[in-house]
Amino acid sequence: MMNSIPESADRFSKFAEFYDRVRPKPPEELADLLRQWSGTQNPAVVDIGCGTGLSSTIWPEVTGVEPSAEMRAIAARRGIKVVDGTGEETGLPDACADIVTVSHALHWFDPARAFPEIARIMRPGAVLAAFDFDWPPAVDPEVDAAYREFEATHTALEAERGLRPTFLAKSGHLGRLRDSGLFRHVNEVCLHMKETGGADRFVDFAASQGGIPALREQGVDEDALGLTQLREVARRRMTDRSTWWWTCRVRLATR
């Protein structure tokens, strides 16, 4: 059975401030792409699953939809108008959006309910952009290998302890959007950006995945999680100004 976005929100609510500090913002070019794709220079934007508002920062004005009260509070401090809702029930009026964005959240949605809801709030010609960053950013081959080992370790621990949630494979987003029959054109593009950061932030970023706090609450330490080894490799291979090369994968669906 599909997990809903409220269940995913519960995973992240306990460390909303930490999440906000270490996760990346989307590339500024995304806003330019979506204005061009929607044919609207001053779009009405809805950001579903906006979290702490990181994904909303590229817009001068946006309505965020977020079920986590903790994350809504941080988004509101950023000056973002944010309402309590989900991808399946936004609570927004019909045909209110020229652009709908979903950042790192579409895999939590129930497509049978969320896609019609998203289509309902989209105006004719509006565009949905569901985007995710490819994890981890490209920094160094040894750091990348250590991250993959950490990922395999914590994923196995989550499965062993019954903490692994059910969510949709991101690789299937494009097909599910096309198969819904709700959008007249669907495509995928990749944007790239870079930022700088050191080893400690890289490890914090790794630890910002939703299952890590749950494992820590059960007494799993950093050694067992693979974070200690990841930190050792990152500190050896990275400087405080190492460049992080990100790929932002954007699924576009036009109403």
DSSP state of 138: B
pLDDT at position 173: 96
pLDDT at position 210: 75
pLDDT at position 15: 73
pLDDT at position 16: 85
Q: Which CATH superfamily is domain 5-254 in?
A: Vaccinia Virus protein VP39 (3.40.50.150)
Domain locations along the chain: 5-254
Assign residue 14 a region (left: φ > 0; alpha: ψ between -120 and 50; beta: otherwise): alpha
State the pairing for strand pair 185-197/97-103: unpaired
Dihedral sign, Cα of residue 149, residue 145, residue 9, residue 111 = negative
Nearest partner of 25 among 80, 97, 92, 68, judged by Cα? 80
Separation CA 108–CA 112 (nearest Å): 12
What pTM, to 2 d.p., does this model score? 0.92
Q: How many CB atoms lie within 10 A of CB 150?
A: 24
Separation CA 62–CA 79 (nearest Å): 10
Sheet hosting strand 81-83, strand order edge to edge: 81-83, 63-65, 45-48, 97-103, 122-133, 242-254, 185-197
**CB of 117 closer than 8 Å to CB of 97:** no
Q: Tens-digit pLDDT profile for the chain (255 aa)?
A: 344 444 555 656 567 888 899 899 999 999 999 999 999 999 999 999 999 999 999 999 999 999 999 999 999 999 999 999 999 999 999 999 999 999 999 999 999 999 999 999 999 999 999 999 999 999 999 999 999 999 999 999 999 998 887 788 999 999 999 999 999 999 999 999 999 999 999 999 999 887 888 898 899 999 999 999 999 999 999 999 999 999 999 999 999
- Taking CA 45 as the corner, what is the angle to CA 124 and CA 64, rounded to the nearest 5 degrees? 130
DSSP state of 169: -
